[in-house]
Amino acid sequence: MSIDLLTGDRTRADSVVLPVLERPTRTSQDALAEEAGYTHALARGLSNDAVVLQRRAIAVQLRTRTEETAKSAVPDLLNELAEGGLAWRDIARLVGVTVPAVRKWRQGGPSTSEHRKSIAKLLAFIELLRSDHMVMEGASWLEMTLAESSITGLDIYSSGLIESLVLYAASVLSSEELLDEYDPQWRNSIDDRFEIFTAADGHPSIRLRGAELIG
């Protein structure tokens, strides 16, 4: 005779007795892994929220500074930008007009309210970089290429990602994150910058396209 573990009844020896299967219990590692995953997701969410708030704060700063800066005459604003190192062609590009239009304004020609605001915003942006983020030479900083790309801060500003550019200056965004916002496919263009050529020793080598062989 044997005892059925499920019912407690006595059974014959040739009866099949099913074992009691226990439900697997969660290990401490499982609990820790789940808690770590939750904490990571929470931290990522809080970080994203913080960046959103920072963007809003920057937008307010730029708007306030732009309104104050726009009180000056347009020729004075343009001269201040030029004295800060920006070339006239870059000023025209960042404002969204032609170089002749900028030349006309420098000579006292009339400008629209939107153009006046765009010029004031550019100067407010340069001043914000200097006063809040220790970018003392905004013009040359904008000309620098980002990461391993050929994209510059001038390209970023011209695309309208001005708050993101300030976040990059504040080290909130990395250059790669900034480039991802500008062009998610930017990494694909890196390979196009280089070419394979046969060096003087007869072996294949690599260089920037258009670069002259030295030596």
Please state, in angstroms and as integers, the Cα–Cα distance from residue 160 to each residue in 10, 18, 32, following that order.
83, 71, 43
> pLDDT tens for residues 24-69?
566 677 676 676 666 656 666 666 788 899 999 999 999 999 999 9
Chain centroid to Cα 212, Å, comes to 33
Please state, in angstroms and as integers, the Cα–Cα distance from residue 50 to each residue in 44, 54, 83, 106, following that order.
10, 6, 35, 41
SS3 173: coil
Chain centroid to Cα 89, Å, comes to 25
**pLDDT band, very low/low/confident/very high, at 215 (cuts 50, 70, 90):** very low
Name the CA dihedral angle for 136, 59, 44, 134, rounded to a multiple of 10 degrees. 10
What local confidence, expressed as pLDDT, does residue 55 receive?
95
Lowest mean pLDDT among 61-65, 71-75, 190-194, 196-200: 190-194
Residues 159, 146: Cα–Cα separation, whole Å = 15
Residue 2: pLDDT above 60?
no
What local confidence, expressed as pLDDT, does residue 51 receive?
87
Instruction: Fill in the amino acid letter for 198.
Output: T
Domain boundaries, the chain: 47-192
Residue 89: pLDDT above 90?
yes
> pLDDT tens for residues 100-146?
999 999 999 999 999 999 999 999 999 999 999 999 999 999 999 99
DSSP structure string for 76-134: HHHHHHHHTT--HHHHHHHHTS-HHHHHHHHTT----HHHHHHHHHHHHHHHHHHHHH-
Residues 82, 29: Cα–Cα separation, whole Å = 62
